Amino acid sequence: MKGQDVRTQVAIIGAGPAGLLLGQLLHSYGIDNIILERKDRDYVLARIRAGVLEQGTVAQLEQLGITARLHQEGLVHDGIELLFGGTRHRIDLKQATGGKTVTVYGQTEVTRDLMDARQAAGLVTVYDADSVSLHDFGGVSPRVCYVKDGITHEIACDFIAGCDGSHGVSRASVPAQSIQTYERVYPFGWLGLLSDTPPVSPELIYANHPKGFALCSMRSPRRSRYYVQCALDERIENWSDDRFWDELRSRLDEEAAETLVTGPSLEKSIAPLRSFVAEPMRFGTLFLAGDAAHIVPPTGAKGLNLAASDVHYLSQALREFYADKSSAGLDAYSTRALARVWKAVRFSWWMTSMMHRFPDTDAFGAKIQAAELDYVIHSPIATASLAENYVGLPY
């Protein structure tokens, strides 16, 4: 059965933070858009993701007027701590960058705020959209088809924004000969645990330890998120809460190990780490943004923030197209976005290489890591470089 065809200016694939942020920005510019999401709202909100926001990401949310909850519940951080050799060393992000900070606010909460704002504005989001397919995006009359409740629908549009992640239909719809991919798969994963316990430190602790990397993070003053590096073949059912807490404690400094508050896990999962970039990010009237185009290991806290910078470039380009009848921004989108993407990929790779124990790390490699860390904390230039990248490079 076929439903009634509709038309919009921009069809957005994916109702994650990239698609939702793009939709709200376009709406604020008077550009019509429809979002298609293959899962339901609850499923999208159940995804556990990172929560360190760059100032540029926060600024875009402020532009949309949807930061009331973020400013009430988000935690502004002026620094991070690097732990190695049994000692913590603080990197003062604010001082090293001339006043820039990051805000700890869960990606799930960002998604919820964007969903609520979109609903309040009466904008169309189609959840449970099955069999989404992209058509004719190589020309000037692209279409998106999908099935909802057994009925096939078609959306005619000017442009398609693929914001549907690394396993979505958008990138997969591009002919193989038109796209080039670059990938680095890391030989370990992160075992993460979420708990309703107070964080062990007011700022994030990145730990380099002979047993492997560890990260102490948080979602709020009462909810913590912890990670330990693990082998890729680890099975989550082999990790009881007690085993996780014991392993984490063994990788922390003495003070943190003694003050760590443990409790039952709300969620445990193992995530593999990889770096991935697809080039270009434009194919005719199809534009990729966020995880549909690139993946970074979470060590540098760049995933959501890279999606936000892509959306900034794309929303500005579409605004210029409709307001000024100029395609210059659209033509430059891929080049501009990828220039920032690759810098973030480099930083995330560097942080991962410096903080983790690789299977082939020998005594020489361990000494090189120690020397790198010592240089970072004692050289003002090296400290500033880490801080500049961590708080986010300018758009």
Distance of CA 261 to the CA centre of its chain: 28
How many angstroms separate the CA atoms of 75 and 81, rounded?
A: 16
Reply yes or no on whether the pLDDT at 3 is more than 70. no
Looking at residues 196-219, what average pLDDT do you find? 96
Active site residue 167: no
Reply yes or no on whether the pLDDT at 203 is more than 90. yes
Reply yes or no on whether the pLDDT at 176 is more than 80. yes
* From 146, 298, 313, 356, the catalytic residue: 298
How many angstroms separate the CA atoms of 190 and 215, rounded?
A: 9
Reply yes or no on whether the pLDDT at 2 is more than 80. no
pLDDT tens for 99-129 read: 999 999 989 999 999 999 999 999 999 999 9
* 239 token code pair: 């990790």
Reply yes or no on whether the pLDDT at 175 is more than 80. yes
Q: By percentage, how much of the chain surpasses pLDDT 70?
A: 98
Active site residue 378: no
* From 206, 226, 227, 333, the catalytic residue: 206
* From 77, 153, 209, 294, the catalytic residue: 77
User: What mean pLDDT, rounded, does the chain reach?
Assistant: 95
Q: pLDDT band at 1, cuts 50/70/90?
A: low
Residue partners of 47: CB distance under 8 A and separation at least 6? 16, 107, 108, 111
> Could you give the count of Cα atoms lying within 13 Å of 24 in the half-sphere of its Cβ?
26
* From 153, 294, 302, 356, the catalytic residue: 302
Q: 311, 146, 301, 274: which is closest to 215 by C-alpha?
A: 301
Q: By percentage, how much of the chain surpasses pLDDT 90?
A: 93
How many angstroms separate the CA atoms of 295 and 277, rounded?
A: 7
Look at residue 43 in the predicted model and tell me its pLDDT: 83
Active site residue 390: yes
**What is the gyration radius of the CA atoms in the chain, in angstroms?**
22
Beta bridge pairs of residue 103: 53, 76
pLDDT tens for 313-366 read: 999 999 999 999 999 999 999 999 999 999 999 999 999 999 999 998 899 999
Which domains, from first to last, does the chain contain?
6-73+106-182+274-351 (3.50.50.60)
